[in-house]
């Protein structure tokens, strides 16, 4: 219990501050939890590890939760994961039950968040313990598995794989680092780039560019229209909410939380998949789903408990394998690196105190989120009114600070923002996928080391299949994810054909 001595008032204040700022970010349409974490990163540069983590985890939990506010009040999902919250939330708000709907969401969120935190607490150390024995070969296969899972869950597998490979390719620019056992020579670039790109693109400017600058560009293209006008925000009167709404809904809440946690664990799969899956499950399994889509609390419960359960779920592969579970945890990887921490199988056993501190921050953030939103929802709902022409310049400014300060003042890192901001914009415009690209970028250089070093020591490709029973299991899982993807696309095609006929 040594970690208790590391907890101080600042720690709890920072978590609460993070949750509040996160909620505000989540509540503003077009801003996501990922952006909240990316934009607030510079604040953590000056903080120590524990305080930095407290702020970031607060932001993460708050950001995911905040998305419910515009989803209910404006029919616009504040974060992609609150898409299904709009289905029932907005009809309720139109009936004047906005506050009731939001309170249902808040309770579902906190339950989802806490259940996933519990799963994280018990499951991550086991997974880490198991993966500690992995050699380079199994590690390489894990990365291959992660990428194939992301690709198979993309809307189109070929496009998903291609996006992931582009990410890997971009990560290889620069030198084959001597510290990783490489020969220190550069590749995939011209000589004049060497002064800037010897070590390749820095991770955080790339992420901040893709999630911050791209978003601004996509909005600018649409003309930065304000989608708010006073009449549309109807929070309703306080009445109508009672805990009785949850009567008979516990199975739904627990099931959706576990669905959210599980989807969160799959690398690179965004929150929308979790809430959509939980929502359709509720629709299929509920005794009476006739009201769903017209303003039924059960739909809100399914959607919100699943999307908050992502938080714990996405941290599982991050902390046990070093593979981010979603785009927000991808930014967290950058924050860890900054603090000199390498996430992976050794993280939990070697940093037990930090691990407990993270759990404390995560759980505390959920409670703060609950109290802030349950009692102050009326005031928080007003932030959806903040005009974008005030916010976006500030976002760009914060992106600059984050990128410039990351390596203690390198101007090229700021230009990286623009390069990857434009790249992220183009990628999304031509229909490629950002999530696999990011995961590919993060894991690419490790994949190289594992792959090349394995071949150097064993001298044959067959080692990837014969090294250990685990390797065989991993190949089977990779195969399963590919087969799953093909089956899904066949099913979709059949469905589309049926729709065309009728």
Q: Which of the residues 155 through 174 are near another protein (CB under 8 A)?
A: 156, 158-159, 161-162, 165-166, 168-169, 172
The smaller minimum CB distance to another protein, of residues 104 and 147, is found at: 147
Q: Count CA atoms closer than 13 A to 104's CA, side-chain side.
A: 31
Q: Is 496 in the site for another protein (CB under 8 A)?
A: no
Q: Is 309 in the site for another protein (CB under 8 A)?
A: no
Length of the chain: 502
The smaller minimum CB distance to another protein, of residues 135 and 186, is found at: 186
The smaller minimum CB distance to another protein, of residues 186 and 339, is found at: 186
One character per residue 202-221, x = contact with another protein (rule: CB under 8 A): -----------x--xx--xx
List strand residue ranges (DSSP E) for 335-454, in order: none
Rounded alpha-carbon distances, angstroms, from residue 470 to 129, 281, 359: 14, 32, 30
**Nearest distance from residue 169's CB to another protein, in Å?**
5
**Nearest distance from residue 331's CB to another protein, in Å?**
18
**Nearest distance from residue 175's CB to another protein, in Å?**
7
Size, binding site for another protein by CB under 8 A: 71
The smaller minimum CB distance to another protein, of residues 165 and 480, is found at: 165
The smaller minimum CB distance to another protein, of residues 129 and 199, is found at: 199
Interface with another protein in residues 172-191 (CB under 8 A): 172, 175-176, 182-188
CA distance 88 to 86: 6
Interface with another protein in residues 314-353 (CB under 8 A): none
Report CA torsion sign: 210, 214, 216, 219.
Answer: negative
CA distance 469 to 457: 19
The DSSP output letter for 185 is -
Task: Give yes or no for a contact between 138 and 127, defined as CB atoms under 8 angstroms apart.
Answer: no
The only residue of 1, 9, 390, 501 in contact with another protein, by rule CB under 8 A: 390
CA distance 423 to 498: 37
Rg (CA), the chain: 22
Task: Give yes or no for a contact between 173 and 197, defined as CB atoms under 8 angstroms apart.
Answer: yes
Let me know the angle formed at the C-alpha of 224 by 220 and 228, rounded to the nearest 5 degrees.
Answer: 160
Of the candidates 170, 173, 193, 210, which has an alpha carbon nearest to the alpha carbon of residue 420? 210
**Nearest distance from residue 101's CB to another protein, in Å?**
30
**Nearest distance from residue 37's CB to another protein, in Å?**
17
**Nearest distance from residue 223's CB to another protein, in Å?**
4
Let me know the angle formed at the C-alpha of 347 by 6 and 255, rounded to the nearest 5 degrees.
Answer: 90
The smaller minimum CB distance to another protein, of residues 162 and 356, is found at: 162
The only residue of 4, 129, 133, 226 in contact with another protein, by rule CB under 8 A: 226
CA distance 329 to 443: 13
**Nearest distance from residue 441's CB to another protein, in Å?**
12
**Nearest distance from residue 378's CB to another protein, in Å?**
23
**Nearest distance from residue 134's CB to another protein, in Å?**
19
Neighbours of 223 (CB within 10 A): 7
In terms of DSSP H, where are the helices of 209-248?
A: 214-221
The smaller minimum CB distance to another protein, of residues 242 and 457, is found at: 457
Query: Six-digit token pair at 309?
Result: 């359960």
CA distance 318 to 343: 7
The only residue of 421, 438, 471, 474 in contact with another protein, by rule CB under 8 A: 421
**Nearest distance from residue 11's CB to another protein, in Å?**
17
**Nearest distance from residue 302's CB to another protein, in Å?**
34
The only residue of 415, 470, 477, 482 in contact with another protein, by rule CB under 8 A: 415
Interface with another protein in residues 426-465 (CB under 8 A): 426, 429-431, 444, 447-448, 451-452, 455-456, 459-462
Span from 104-112, 296-304, 337-345, 403-411 in contact with another protein (CB under 8 A): 403-411
The smaller minimum CB distance to another protein, of residues 88 and 175, is found at: 175
Report CA torsion sign: 36, 39, 41, 43.
Answer: negative
Q: Is 389 in the site for another protein (CB under 8 A)?
A: yes
Interface with another protein in residues 33-52 (CB under 8 A): 42-43, 45-46
**Nearest distance from residue 45's CB to another protein, in Å?**
5
CA distance 104 to 416: 42
The smaller minimum CB distance to another protein, of residues 422 and 470, is found at: 422
Task: Give yes or no for a contact between 127 and 320, defined as CB atoms under 8 angstroms apart.
Answer: yes
Residue 493 neighbours by CB under 8 Å, 6+ apart: none
């Amino acid at each position: 219990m040594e970690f208790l001595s590391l907890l101080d008032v600042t720690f709890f204040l920072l978590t609460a501050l993070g949750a509040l700022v996160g909620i505000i970010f989540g509540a503003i349409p077009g801003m996501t939890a990922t952006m909240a974490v990316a934009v607030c990163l510079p604040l953590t540069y000056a903080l120590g590890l524990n305080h930095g983590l407290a702020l970031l985890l607060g932001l993460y939990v708050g950001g995911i939760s905040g998305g419910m506010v515009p989803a209910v009040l404006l029919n616009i999902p504040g974060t992609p994961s609150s898409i299904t919250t709009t289905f029932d939330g907005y009809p309720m708000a139109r009936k004047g039950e906005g506050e009731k709907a939001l309170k249902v969401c808040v309770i579902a969120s906190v339950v989802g968040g806490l259940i996933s935190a519990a799963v994280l607490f018990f499951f991550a150390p086991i997974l880490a313990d198991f993966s500690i024995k992995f050699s380079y070969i199994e590690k390489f296969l894990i990365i291959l598995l992660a990428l194939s899972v992301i690709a198979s869950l993309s809307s189109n597998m070929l496009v998903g794989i291609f996006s992931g490979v582009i990410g890997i390719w971009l990560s290889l620019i620069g030198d084959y680092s001597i510290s990783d056992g490489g020969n220190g020579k550069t590749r995939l670039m011209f000589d004049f780039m060497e002064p800037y790109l010897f070590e390749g693109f820095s991770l955080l400017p790339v992420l901040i560019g893709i999630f911050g600058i791209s978003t601004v560009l996509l909005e600018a293209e649409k003309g930065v229209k304000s989608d708010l006008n006073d009449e549309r925000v109807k929070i309703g009167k306080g009445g109508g909410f009672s805990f009785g709404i949850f009567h008979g809904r516990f199975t739904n809440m627990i099931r959706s939380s576990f669905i959210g946690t599980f989807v969160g664990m799959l690398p690179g799969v965004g929150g929308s998949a979790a809430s959509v899956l939980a929502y359709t499950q509720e629709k299929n399994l509920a005794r009476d789903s006739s009201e769903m889509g017209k303003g039924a609390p059960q739909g809100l419960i399914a959607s919100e408990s699943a999307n908050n359960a992502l938080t714990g779920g996405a941290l599982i592969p991050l902390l046990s394998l070093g593979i981010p579970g979603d785009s927000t945890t991808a930014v967290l990887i950058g924050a860890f690196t900054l603090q000199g921490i390498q996430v992976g199988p050794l993280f939990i056993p070697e940093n037990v105190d930090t691990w407990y501190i993270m759990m404390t921050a995560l759980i505390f953030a959920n409670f703060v989120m609950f109290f802030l939103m349950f009692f102050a929802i009326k005031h928080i709902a007003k932030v959806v009114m903040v005009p974008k022409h005030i916010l976006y310049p500030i976002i760009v400014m914060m992106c600059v600070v984050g990128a410039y300060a990351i390596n203690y003042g390198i101007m090229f890192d700021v230009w990286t923002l623009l390069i990857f901001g434009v790249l992220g914009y183009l990628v999304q415009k031509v229909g490629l996928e950002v999530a696999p690209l990011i995961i590919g970028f993060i894991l690419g250089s490790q994949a190289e080391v594992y792959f090349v070093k394995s071949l150097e020591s064993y001298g044959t490709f067959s080692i990837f299949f014969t090294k250990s029973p685990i390797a065989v299991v991993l190949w089977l899982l990779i195969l399963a994810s590919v087969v799953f993807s093909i089956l899904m696309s066949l099913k979709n095609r059949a469905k589309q054909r049926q729709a065309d006929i009728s």
